[in-house]
Amino acid sequence: MGQREGVAGLTTHAPQAAQAVTLPTTLDEAVAALAATPAAVPVAGGTDLMAAVNSGQLRPAALVGLGRISEIRGWQYQDGHALLGAGLTHARMGRPDFAALIPALAASARAAGPPQIRNAGTLGGNIASAAPTGDALPVLAALEATLIIAGPGGARREIPVSHLLAGMEMLRAGELIGFVRVPLLHAPQVFLKATGRTGPGRSMASVALVLDPARRGVRCAVGAIAPLPLRPLDAEQWVARLIDWDNNRAIVPEALNAFGEYVAVACIPDPGPAEDGSVAQHPPAVLHLRRTVAALARRALGRALS
């Protein structure tokens, strides 16, 4: 039974040789390659993409490798901002020279997984994958970073990272994330991540907090608890007023606690009353998550101000 020969030589799988791989050396070449083969998928570190390929969930018709584009593997300075190449690896961002520049992004890069992942995974990939647990995302949200998108014909446009993560603006066909524009704030920044284990793991909740002394502001984003990083704007503004910016950024200890609670309740609000008027309670796991966010936010502000 069952021994049917397929039509001569025909199988349901595409031969390996048909997979075209392009390795452009400039951003514009990469954009051109994408435009030439609309079915092509760009790949940088491949830490998400290749896992999907290996498990059979994705069979790209062609690949455009971004690893040889040297212009996006470093960074440059531009009127008080750093222009970070999307091809910067987590390992590179974790190094001390980068940490002196943007400490929170460096901390998130060091926490982004085991060394193998950090060596391959890139900043741009973290944004493009937009996984809720992406460790760079809350930091970029707190920094209010913007993305420089490279398009066909040398076109460049700039969109806030939050717009892309929230789906308000999308990457169009043939576009690539070229650079990430991040303000240089010259003030303490903290990234804290709770994983529930000692070894590298996906974030249960993370908090990025940056101080902006020039504008006397505190900016905070909570990652991993929602599909995109959450900004507790009220809590930020409230706590910024309690900081004595001229006196060593002093704050009363009670304010740290209150800030933590404020952030946690803003991100995980109490469930509204049900139709019959009864007040529901969150399940214990959600309450634990809220406590975790509160502790992370309190610790993050404490460390930033200490």
Partner 1 sequence: MSNEAATATTAAEAAPAPEPIPHGLGVALPAADARAKTEGTFPYAADLWAEGLLWAAVLRSPHAHARIVSIDTSHAREMPGVRAVVTHEDVPGSPRCGRGKPDRPVFASEVVRHHGEPIAAVAADHPDTARMAAAAVIVEYEVLDPVTDPEQAFEAEPLHPDGNLIRHIPLSHGDPGAAGEIVVEGQYRIGRQDPAPIGAEAGLAVPRPDGGVELYLASTDPHADRDTAAACYGLPPEQVKIVVTGVPGATADREDQGFQVPLGLLALQTGCPVKLTATREESFLGHTHRHPTLLRYRHHADAEGKLVKVEAQILLDAGAYADTSSDALAAAVAFACGPYVVPNAFIEGWAVRTNNPPSGHVRGEGAMQVCAAYEAQMDKLAKKLGIDPAELRLRNVMATGDVLPTGQTVTCPAPVAELLQAVRDFPLPPLPKDTPEDEWLLPGGPEGAGEPGAVRRGVGYGLGMVHMLGAEGADEVSTATVKVQDGVATVLCAAVETGQGFTTLARQIVQETLGIDEVHVAPVDTDQPTAGAGCRGRHTWVSGGAVERAAKMVRTQLLQPLAHKFGMSTELLQITDGKITSYDGVLSTTVTEAMDGKELWATAQCRPHPTEPLNESGQGDAFVGMAFCAIRAVVDVDIELGSVRVVELALAQDVGRVLNPAQLSARIEAGVTQGVGIALTENLRTARGLIRHPDLTGYSLPTALDAPDIRIVKLVEERDVVAPFGAKAASAVPVVTSPAAIASAVRAATGRPVNRLPIRPQAAVVTAQ
Q: Which residues bind partner 1 (CB under 8 A)?
A: 1-4, 6-7, 10-13, 55-56, 107, 110-111, 114, 192-202, 204, 284-285, 287-288, 291-292, 295-296, 299
Are 104 and 143 contacting, i.e. CB atoms less than 8 angstroms apart? yes
Instruction: Tell me how far, at minimum, the Cβ of 255 lies from partner 1, in Å.
Output: 17
Beta partners for residue 209, in sequence order: 190, 220
User: Smallest distance from the beta carbon of 24 to partner 1, in angstroms?
Assistant: 29
- Shortest distance (Å) from residue 298 CB to partner 1: 9
Pairing of strands 217-223, 176-183: unpaired
Nearer to partner 1, 47 or 146 (CB): 47
Q: Which helix (H) or strand (E) holds 155?
A: strand 155-160
Distance (Å, whole) CA 223 – CA 137 = 7
Rg (C-alpha) for the chain, rounded Å, is 22
CB of 18 to partner 1, least distance (A): 14
**Smallest separation, CB 234 to partner 1 (Å):** 23
Q: Are 167 and 258 in contact (CB under 8 A)?
A: no
- Closest to 177 in 3D by CA, of 134, 135, 145, 138: 145
CB closer to partner 1 out of 197 and 246 = 197
The DSSP code for 250 is B
- C-beta closer to partner 1: residue 34 or 263: 263
With respect to partner 1, which residue has the nearer C-beta, 180 or 296?
296
Paired sense of beta strands 40-43 and 62-65, if any: parallel
The nearer residue to partner 1, 99 or 187, going by C-beta atoms, is 99
For partner 1, the closer of residues 67 and 188 by Cβ is: 188
CA of 168: how far to CAs of 160, 162, 163, 165, 286, in Å? 10, 8, 5, 8, 28
Q: If you write DSSP's letter for every residue of 74-113 in order, what string do you get?
A: SEEEETTEEEEETT-BHHHHTSHHHHHH-HHHHHHHHTSS
> By C-beta, is 81 or 110 nearer to partner 1?
110
Cα–Cα nearest to 233, from 151, 295, 162: 162
Minimum distance from CB of 305 to partner 1 (Å)?
A: 14
Q: Residue 137 Cβ, how far from partner 1 at the closest point, in Å?
A: 16
CB of 106 to partner 1, least distance (A): 10
Choice between 181 and 193, CB closer to partner 1: 193
